[in-house]
Chain A
């Protein structure tokens, strides 16, 4: 029997003995199945979490579409098997396989992992191991696939440097074709693996970690990062596509339950707001908008091709799209006439007026979400969330008046120079909103607040700050909790230890590769799942490698320190981020950059005009 037949026979026989077997069958509507033998290049796109979570990932949908459009290549998918399936596969020596053709992962030319967040790292190792592919890049030969990774977490690639042959920094739509060409040429030449890595290293936006050396000073800080062959190559600048290509509309429609089962169209990439805690806002600059006509057409097409009963719009800040006021009523009319629901995208209090809220008032009222982020005007100034308490209350009033009864509020704590007054501000604001709701909609009012802890992320103005100490965070949570007692307001916050893993992995350096491997060997899996995450496994992994985790978490960093991700450039300069940190301390705001350019570096580094690129396709 061939590998493929062996795998199929295994599935036919044993799938019924495990939970949610529909995760492993593939065969979704809109799946693309190409002939394996007649296709030259074989890409597998891997999402290191379970099928139900990974399926709707838009980044992976885009790459799946891009590669399958090529005549010389096929793209297939694989997700992390759940623990019962993993045990079954291991006991029958079944390697990890793709959903489309049931080929072992090891037979692909390229395995590209999507890493939108850091807590997937142990699953990635587990997937390599289940595939029989050596974990470490240096142990792989030409018989092994090229292991790539991309996604937002890769803006600090260092903790995973030992396991990934090449990282894609930035947007994938164009670079994926350059990678395909490089791998094709290498395959035809049957050259050593090192030649392929060299070819990839020459593609702008690709980071081949094995070509860079990092040295450390005695105090553990980074002394130097340099390219071992080309000393002049001091950094990798992220890739952007100057014009967003036509959106994907033929989404895969799962045959079993998955999250976010709906057709989603990305209406805008990037954000001009400049919130100082927000990594996504910094790493996705510049802003590029899709025209409303294209969005509407894509939504209609996606309803026809998927049959989904729900559509949605995606962006970091949909209300900042310059055509949003005309777009939303159009989408509402279209969805009503086609009997599908339209779920609202993320909106910002500071940028939507009463007209927009009114236009969204449909028949059914779900949750309305607003994100004040901080409780006081002072703190909102520090984080550059430039909206005052009065505006938030006015917006809440408007929302209740339009008939919504359920309001969700997002806050964060653990900001720099945070005082207990700032925390009390969260309580006061929430209680005031509740009073307004009570007055306008009576006892039906439901307020739910979610309070997260700031994780100072790479490439943000707060990247030099330490993560808050546990005691300080717990004290603040207790204050909020007692302030909201007997109000019926629902409050949730993350477990401190749960956040810690994201802190370590997002702020770590190369030395964390050993820790990640040790944690995986110690049994860490599905760390993004609270019920599976075990902080002790990680503590032990740090200890066994003689690494103090606090070095990466609560320690604040000097502004002249070489940061682990300094050689990864987002186009926004370190100098600009530092000036933003200083402005935060001086209680100064930075206006939306559509009004005035603050010289963040994007225009200079990409030789573009943000204004032109934002509206080019409108």
Chain B
């Protein structure tokens, strides 16, 4: 059976890369005494699909993963077993049965939404809003990442700056995360001149392509 797991990722697992998260799922499934399906071939691989890599340090509020199990079980039962078997920092909120041979999960994802919380109390919302407006008014925002130059501007699909209930400034963003383009919220923050240690990013949701929504 193919199941889709919705989970949160935070705490000690903030600093675990997507590759290592894949290993964590394999081990968690084994600890839960569930049996993963493996691909055929010379080097059988566990059948696991992570929707989209979550960069190091990002909190994941609604991450998605599909796994294929050998035996049929009730989704609620799987959820309970897995929640006892995952390390601290992963919490499963939902398990759903999915059409066994439907399209691959990563191919269904189009974009991600993020909320970026600013940690430095010296930042004023007026200042951030002003610099955001200036930034968004430009036609292009040339940047260099991993020694490759690209234009950041078209990757900012939505952006707004607000104050959350505990008085912290939060930047909301929607950026592509599909097979052809990936937008990085920390690049937007860098463009605003805010250093890495002064914000915390949460991926709030994964947005499906319209035809799969």
B159 at interface, CB cutoff 8 A? no
**Chain A residues in 8 Å Cβ range of B171:** none
| B4-30 at interface with A (beta carbon < 8 Å) | 11-17, 20, 24, 26-30
Shortest beta-carbon distance from B71 to chain A in Å: 14
Q: Which residues of A contact B141 (CB under 8 A)?
A: none
Q: Which residues of A contact B197 (CB under 8 A)?
A: 13-14, 16-17
Q: Does A22 reach chain B (CB closer than 8 Å)?
A: yes
Contact bitstring A249-266, B, C-beta under 8 A = 1, else 0 = 000010111000000000
Pairwise interchain contact B27-A307, C-beta atoms closer than 8 A: yes
Q: Say yes or no: is B31 at the interface (Cβ < 8 Å to chain A).
A: yes
Q: Is A308 an interface residue (CB 8 A)?
A: yes
| B87: contacting residue among A29, A257, A305, CB under 8 A | A29
Contacts of A309 in B (CB 8 A): 26-27, 30
Hey, which chain B residues are within 8 Å of A26, CB to CB? 12
Whether A253 touches B12, Cβ cut-off 8 Å, given contacts A13-B197, A16-B196, A17-B197, is no
| B residues less than 8 Å from A20 (CB atoms) | 15
B85 within 8 A of A: yes
CB-CB under 8 A from B20, the residues of chain A are 22, 255-257
Q: Which residues of B contact A206 (CB under 8 A)?
A: none
Please give the distance in Å from A550's CB to the nearest CB on chain B.
46
Q: In whole angstroms, how far apart are the Cα atoms of A149 and B47 in the complex?
A: 45
A307's contact among B15, B16, B29, B56, by CB below 8 Å, is which?
Answer: B29
Interfacial chain B residues near A253, Cβ < 8 Å? 27, 87
Q: How far is the CB of A403 from chain B (nearest CB, A)?
A: 15
Q: What separation, in Å, do the CA atoms of A306 and B16 have in the docked complex?
A: 17
Report yes or no: B15 in contact with A256, Cβ–Cβ below 8 A: yes
The answer to whether the Cβ of B154 comes within 8 Å of any Cβ in the partner chain is: no
**B27 in contact with A27 (CB, 8 Å):** no
Alpha-carbon distance between A617 and B63 when the two chains are bound, in angstroms? 50
Chain A residues within an 8 Å CB radius of B35:
339
Contacts A17-B196, A255-B24; A27 near B89 (Cβ below 8 A): yes
Q: Which residues of B contact A306 (CB under 8 A)?
A: 27, 31
Picked from A17, A27, A339, the residue with its CB within 8 Å of the CB of B88 is A27
Known: A22-B16, A26-B12. A303 touches B24 (CB 8 A): no
Q: Are the C-beta atoms of A256 and B16 separated by less than 8 Å?
A: yes
Interchain CB contact under 8 A, A25 and B14: yes
Which residues of chain A in 4-47 are interfacial with respect to chain B, using CB atoms and an 8 Å cutoff? 12-17, 20-22, 25-29, 31
Residue of B27, B35, B86 with most chain A CB atoms under a 10 A cut-off:
B27
Evaluate contact between A305 and B31: CB separation under 8 angstroms.
Answer: yes
Set of chain B residues within 8 Å of A29, measured between Cβ atoms:
27-28, 31, 85-87
Q: Which residues of B contact A304 (CB under 8 A)?
A: 30-31, 33
Q: Which of A15, A28, A339 contacts B15 (CB 8 A)?
A: A15
- Interface assignment of B119: CB less than 8 Å from any CB of chain A: yes
A27: chain B residues within 8 A (beta carbon): 11-13, 87-89
Residue of B nearest to A99 (CB): B12
In the complex, B57 has a CB within 8 A of chain A: yes
- Alpha-carbon distance between A250 and B52 when the two chains are bound, in angstroms: 31
A21-B56, A22-B15, A307-B28 given as contacts; is B87 within 8 A of A255 (CB)? Answer: yes
Of all chain A residues, the one with the shortest Cβ separation from B195 is A17
Per the 8 Å Cβ criterion, residues 49-76 of B in contact with A are: 56-57
**Interfacial residues of chain A within 255-279, with CB under 8 A of chain B in the complex:** 255-257
Interchain CB contact under 8 A, B28 and A255: no
Interface string of A331-372 (1 = CB under 8 A from B): 000000001100000000000000000000000000000000
CA distance A212 to B100 in the complex (A): 72
A303: B residues at CB distance < 8 A: 30
- Docked pose: A31 CA to B87 CA in angstroms: 9
Residue on A nearest B86 in the bound complex, by CB: A29
Interface size on B, residues (CB 8 A): 29
Choose from A15, A305, A339, A340 the contact partner of B57 (Cβ within 8 Å).
A15
**A255–B16 touching, CB < 8 Å:** yes
Q: Shortest beta-carbon distance, A327 to chain B, in Å?
A: 23
With a cutoff of 8 Å between Cβ atoms, the chain A residues found around residue B56 in the complex are 16, 21
Alpha-carbon gap, A339 to B36, bound state (A): 10
- A21 contacts B27, C-beta separation under 8 Å: no
State in angstroms the CA–CA spacing of A92 and B17 once bound together.
26
Contact digits for A301-317, partner B, Cβ 8 Å, 1 yes 0 no: 00111111100000000
Whole-angstrom CA separation of A25 from B13 in the bound complex: 8
Q: Which residues of A contact B14 (CB under 8 A)?
A: 15, 21, 25
In Å, the complex CA distance between A256 and B57 comes to 13
Question: From residue A478, how far is it (CB to closest CB) to chain B in Å?
Answer: 41
Residue of A nearest to B21 (CB): A255
Which residue of B has the minimal Cβ distance to A363? B42
Chain A residues with CB under 8 A of B33: 304
CA distance A308 to B57 in the complex (A): 25
Residue in contact with B12 in the complex, picked from A16, A255, A340, CB distance below 8 Å: A255
Chain A proximity of B118: nearest CB distance (Å): 12
- Interface pair B12/A307, CB less than 8 Å apart: no
CB distance B27 to A13 under 8 Å? no
A13 vs B86: C-alpha distance in the bound complex, in angstroms?
A: 25
The chain B residue sitting closest to A24, CB to CB, is B15
Docked Cα-Cα span, A25 to B27, in Å, equals: 19
Of chain B, the residue at the smallest CB distance from A16 is B57
Q: With A17-B196, A256-B20, A309-B26 as known contacts, state yes or no: A25 contacts B15, CB within 8 Å.
A: yes
How long is the Cα–Cα vector from A256 to B88 in the complex, in angstroms? 14
Q: Which residue in chain B gives the minimum CB-CB distance to A18?
A: B15
A256 and B17 contact, CB distance less than 8 A: yes
Chain B residues, CB < 8 A from A307: 26-31, 85
B31 touches A255 (CB 8 A): no
Residues of B close to A31: CB separation below 8 A: 88
Query: What's the Cα separation between A257 and B15 when bound, in Å?
Result: 11
Across the interface, name the chain B residue whose C-beta is closest to A22.
B15
Please give the distance in Å from B207's CB to the nearest CB on chain A: 25
Q: Please indicate the chain B residues that have their CB under 8 angstroms from the CB of A255 in the complex.
A: 12-13, 15-16, 20, 24, 87, 89
Which chain A residues border B15 with CB–CB below 8 Å? Answer: 15-16, 20-22, 25, 255-256
B166 to chain A, nearest CB (A): 15
Q: Which residue of A lies closest to B26 (CB)?
A: A309
List of B residues within 8 angstroms of A25 by Cβ? 11-12, 14-15
Tell me, in angstroms, the Cα distance from A303 to B38 when the chains sit together: 18
Contacting residues, chain B, for A14 (C-beta < 8 A): 197
Q: Select from chain B the residue with minimum beta-carbon distance to A27.
A: B12
Residues of B within 8 A of A308 (CB): 27, 30
- What's the Cα separation between A256 and B31 when bound, in Å? 18
Which one of A25, A29, A304, A307 has the greatest number of beta carbons of chain B within 10 Å?
Answer: A307
A94 to B89, CA, bound (A): 24
A27 to B31, CA, bound (A): 17
Q: How many angstroms between the C-alpha atoms of A17 and B200 in the bound complex?
A: 12
Closest to A340 in B: B30
Instruction: List 20 interface pairs A-B (beta carbons < 8 Å), by A numbering.
Output: A14-B197, A16-B57, A21-B15, A22-B12, A25-B12, A27-B13, A27-B87, A27-B89, A29-B28, A29-B85, A255-B12, A255-B15, A255-B16, A255-B20, A256-B15, A256-B16, A304-B31, A308-B30, A309-B26, A339-B35
The 5 closest A-B pairs by CB, nearest first: A27-B12, A307-B27, A22-B15, A307-B30, A21-B15
Q: A22-B16, A27-B13, A27-B87 are in contact. List 5 more A-B contacts (CB 8 A).
A: A21-B15, A22-B15, A27-B88, A256-B16, A307-B27
